[in-house]
Amino acid sequence: MQRQQEKPTEKPKKFRVFGPVATRFTSSDTGSWRLERPKVRFEDCIKCGTCAMFCPVNIIEILKDQKECVIIDFNYCKGCGICSNVCPKKCIDMVPERGHE
């Protein structure tokens, strides 16, 4: 999804079409739907990647060589909590959005 947004800016050319269509994905920023966000306790994380495997929007990346090893793209994370539920170490907490962290 991230790549889709970047791609059309390479060589933009306008042409007229008929019918419902969008090439700017302005409304796909599903991160704005979020009421809770996943917060990883990195010290407990075993970098197994289970959260990334189960993420329904595929926006979790595991960086095994870094301390902050779980990267979540919050532009698209809806805060569904699946990652938190499936984590074998229970080291992903769901914390309320909007300044309660």
* Cβ closest to another protein, residue 25 vs residue 74: 25
* Cβ closest to another protein, residue 13 vs residue 64: 13
Of 14-53, which residues contact another protein (CB under 8 A)? 17-23, 25
First-to-last alpha carbon distance for the chain, in angstroms, is 27
Q: What distance in Å separates the CA atoms of residue 55 and residue 82, rounded to the nearest whole number?
A: 7
Of 63-92, which residues contact another protein (CB under 8 A)? none
* Cβ closest to another protein, residue 28 vs residue 66: 28
Two tokens at 83?
């990652």
Check binding of 2 to another protein (CB under 8 A).
no
Residue 37: its H or E element = strand 36-40
Count of residues making up the chain? 101
Check binding of 99 to another protein (CB under 8 A).
no
